Amino acid sequence: MTKHVFQTEVNELLHLIIHSLYSHREIFLRELVSNASDALDKLKYLTLTEAEFKKINFDPKIDISFNDTKDGRSITISDTGIGMNEADLIEHIGTIARSGTKSFLSELTGDAKKDSNLIGQFGVGFYSCFMVADQIEVISRKAGEKEAYRWVSDGKSGFEIEPTVKKETGTDITLFLNDEGKEYANRWSITETLKKYSNHIAFPINLSYEESRFDGEGDAKKEIKERKTEQVNDATAFWKKPKSSLKKKDYNEFYKTFSNDYQDPALHVHTQAEGALDYTTLFFVPEKAPNDLFYADYKSGVKLYVKRVFITDDEKELLPTYLRFVKGIIDSEDLPLNVSREILQQNRTLENIRKASVKKLLKSFQALSKNEKNYIKFYEQFGRPLKEGYFQDRENRELLEKLVRFKSTKTDGYTSLEDYVKRMPEDQKGIYYITGDNEATLRRSPLIEMYMQKDIEVLIADDEIDEIIIPGAAKYGDHDFKSVNRSDAGDELKKDDDKEDEPDEKATAPFIKKVKTVLGERVKDVKVSSRLTDSPSVLVTDTNDPTFQMQEMMRAMGQTEMPDAKPILEINLDHPILKKMKDMRKSKDFDNATELLYEQALLLEGMKLENPADFVKRLNDILAKSL
């Protein structure tokens, strides 16, 4: 027997699950049955496609039995699936290798401790068994191998593994129930739980139990116990059932059987296509975004079946990456059972299913958008991936541009591009937007003063990916996107009377030259601003240079060789500060005031000061003299 110590994180995880996630203990059975179904799916595929496994007498089923005696209570879940060898038992049960474990632990605070949905999101469903059991024993034999192994743990310090004997391929899991789990050692609790969570598992789930009957009469009457077995689930491919026979409740229950999500889905999309292509798809959108939504190694939520035979759940190309939050099933009647991963990526049938599925999903989202309250709830969870699609998916751009939303200077919540255009004055040609990382700061930015004065709406693009998404889209309909962060922004809005008010270049040239001298190489240029009305200064980006936010993103992605993109300082000569500075060009105070104009503009852009101490000293000097 080999003893293993749990990882530190696993220890902490088990403690939290056992003592905190107690509100829905029955989910342990859902998790074990779901795992058994996956094991059956995998072996069924191998017996149909691999010569070495075709000899196996495969009888797919899940058997459940229980024991309730004076000596203790237990429940056993057995499957005839692919099974596990010693290495599998260590990897899949003894450790948690997923990068999300730390995130899982950090999520278990406050009210989240009662959120059993977290169990499924991080793939640690097996560990939920320790909510109801003091000890767990797993006996498993992997398909194609003769050796079997026994894994046992009390869920506290570690686990033990030793060789054992098992006649058939598959896995038996026995839970030795504690006081919290004793209620599940009876026929009715198990049946109720299975019908609630696992009724639509595509393999038969058989419950074995003893039933008493009495034979004879009077003193000769005897109690005879008979062993009975009954199937407690439908065991049909749920997605192949006629849509007309299914209710929303049915879809919600099925979703929970394969998604590891305890909550009802936000929506489902069920398609049964016949004709040139014969396939069925059933997609679900979760209520909340999965925790690995922005992980590079996110787990695909879509399973591929061929003629109801499970093929893979690890193929990220089944849907585009921007729809990675979608969970569901694709079942094709036209693909070969032994289709390889390489063939999948080039298969025209699957590509056509994929294209049709994307359009169907996007149109469903569009239908959802007719209810603004529900759509914003959905968009706050999945808006960023949809923006990725708006940038990436040119084939479906017309659908996606109707789905993306932005904040705006004329709305408190979100607005669509379509609604923005409807509000535009007839003579406005462009769609104006400002980028940054803080909505409140952007709403008060000097960059939008001219637009507010002219009653022109500006989109508040405060998501960091907006820096890529909006320029990448370039335009909406006939309207170009125009960034107010850039030096040429708003040139087309200047009227003839605005140009008449512009200061004489010859008169202002010495002043501008002095400001440039003070700031030196820190700025590309200094210009008199036509956009400022209330603020003394602002920093803008030259037309072809990356914005400040884009530069920060590039640095965060490890791009150290950045282009020499310095900002342009725009100053408002009508502001009282600038008017007073005109008469003090030879004073040290002029240099301090110029530095402060530049530094406050940096702060408004959310940029860090090179030397905060110098900034504070200059500010204190100015304050002392003014007081």
C-alpha R_g of the chain = 33
CA distances to 40, 278, 344 from 352, rounded to whole Å, are 29, 11, 12
The amino acid at residue 387 is: K
Among the ranges given (147-151, 412-416, 432-436, 554-558), the one the predictor scored with the smallest mean pLDDT: 554-558
Angle at 508 between CA 506 and CA 511, to 5 degrees: 130
Per-residue DSSP letter, 503: P
Q: How far apart (Å, rounded) are the C-alpha atoms in residues 343 and 346? A: 5
Residue 199 DSSP SS3:
coil
CA distance 385 to 408: 20
Residue 111: per-residue pLDDT: 47
Residue 536: predicted pLDDT: 94
| Helices (H), ranges, 457-504 | 466-473, 496-500
Give all strands of the β-sheet with 327-332 in edge-to-edge order. 267-273, 279-285, 327-332, 302-306, 309-312
DSSP 90: I
Q: Mind listing the pLDDT tens digit for each residue in 547-575?
A: 777 777 776 666 666 666 789 999 999 99
| Percentages of the chain per state (helix, strand, coil), in multiples of 5 | 45, 20, 35
Q: Give dist(CA 171, CA 76) in Å, integer.
A: 10
Q: For residue 512, what are its two tokens?
A: 């501008």
Pick the closest to residue 143 from 238, 244, 44, 257 (CA basis). 44
Q: Which carries the bigger pLDDT value, residue 98 or residue 616?
A: 616
Q: Confidence band (pLDDT; 50, 70, 90) for 461?
A: very high
Q: How many CB atoms lie under 10 A from the CB of residue 564? A: 7
Tell me which long-range contacts 621-624 makes (C-beta under 8 A, separation of at least 24): 621/592, 622/589, 622/592, 622/593, 622/596
The CATH code of domain 238-368 reads: 3.30.230.80
Alpha carbon distance, N-terminus to C-terminus of the chain: 82
Q: What is the pLDDT of residues 77-110, one digit of tens each?
A: 999 999 999 999 988 776 654 444 555 556 555 4
34-61: per-residue pLDDT in tens?
889 989 999 999 998 888 998 888 999 9
Q: Please give the average per-residue pLDDT across 134-145, as a whole number.
A: 95
Comparing 316-320, 345-349, 444-448, which segment has the lowest mean pLDDT?
Answer: 345-349
Find the helix or strand (DSSP H, E) in which 394 lies: none
Instruction: Give the 3-state secondary structure of 240-264.
Output: HCCHHHCCHHHHHHHHHHHHCCCCC
Please classify residue 445 by burial: count the beta carbons closer than 10 Å to its beta carbon, then call 0-12 exposed, 13-18 middle and 19+ buried: buried
Placement of tokens 């637009």 in the chain: 451
Using pLDDT thresholds of 50, 70 and 90, give the confidence band for residue 398.
very high
pLDDT at 587: 79
pLDDT at 340 over 90: no
- Residue 381 host element (H or E): helix 372-392
Q: What is the mean pLDDT of residues 310-337?
A: 90
Strand partners for 230:
207
Token pair 């390889």: residue: 340
Give yes or no for a contact between 237 and 331, defined as CB atoms under 8 angstroms apart. Answer: yes
Percent of the chain beyond pLDDT 70? 87
Helix (H, G, I), strand (E, B) or coil at 99: coil
Alpha carbons 624 and 207: distance in angstroms, whole number: 85
d(Cα 322, Cα 386) in Å, to the nearest integer?
6
Q: What is the CATH number of domain 404-493?
A: 3.40.50.11260
Quote the DSSP letter at residue 300. P
Nearest Cα residue to 282 out of 253, 257, 302? 302
How many residues in the chain? 627
The lowest-confidence range among 226-240, 353-367, 385-399 is: 226-240
Return d(Cα 448, Cα 490) in angstroms, integer.
Answer: 10
Sequence spans of domains, the chain: 2-213+227-231, 238-368, 404-493, 505-543+553-626
The CATH topology of domain 505-543+553-626 is Four Helix Bundle (Hemerythrin (Met), subunit A) (1.20.120)
Residue 139: phi and psi, rounded to 5, are -120, 125
Q: How confident is the model at residue 501 (pLDDT cuts 50, 70, 90)?
A: low
- What does the longest C-alpha to C-alpha distance in the chain come to? 124
Tokens of 79: 């499957």
Give phi and psi for 196, each to the nearest 5: -70, -45
What is 2-213+227-231's CATH superfamily?
Answer: Histidine kinase-like ATPase, C-terminal domain (3.30.565.10)
Question: What DSSP line would sit under 309-343, residue for residue?
Answer: EEEES--GGGS-GGGTT-EEEEEESSS-TT--HHH
Q: How confident is the model at residue 371 (pLDDT cuts 50, 70, 90)?
A: very high
3-state secondary structure 130-178: HHCEEEEEEEEECCCCCCEEEEEECCCCEEEEEEECCCCCEEEEEEEEC
